[in-house]
Amino acid sequence: MGYQQGNGSVYPVNPDDSKKYLRDMELYGGKANVLMDELRRWFVGLWHGESLAFMVGGITVFISIGFFYAANHVPYNSESDIANKDSR
């Protein structure tokens, strides 16, 4: 955490948001490093607030569709049940 002075006040500043940080990231790892950092921040942001609710809802719908698909494609072996009834 860093601090920046302006208008007679001192404000806390996250060093990850500075141009120097982005320049250093690009210098050491290239544009891919900067893009991966942005992707990481986006992904971490999904797990807060309203977007968390949409993620939980989406994951729930996806899992329920998977269970529905699996349940409807279970092989049904009706011939063995009929053969056992005839043999009694």
Q: What is the pLDDT of residue 83?
A: 55
Give residue limits of the domains in the chain: 1-45, 49-76
Whole-prediction pTM: 0.56
At 77, give phi and psi (nearest 5°): -105, 80
> Is pLDDT above 60 for 81?
no
**Percent of the chain residues past pLDDT 70, beyond the cut:** 85
Instruction: Convert the pLDDT of each residue in 48-72 to its tens digit.
Output: 889 999 999 999 999 999 999 999 9
Q: What is the pLDDT of residue 8?
A: 83
More confident residue, 77 or 51: 51
The Cα-based distances of 37 to 1, 3, 5, 33, 85 in angstroms read: 18, 22, 27, 6, 65
DSSP string, 11-52: EEE-GGGSHHHHHHHHHHHHHHHHHHHHHHHHHHHTTSHHHH
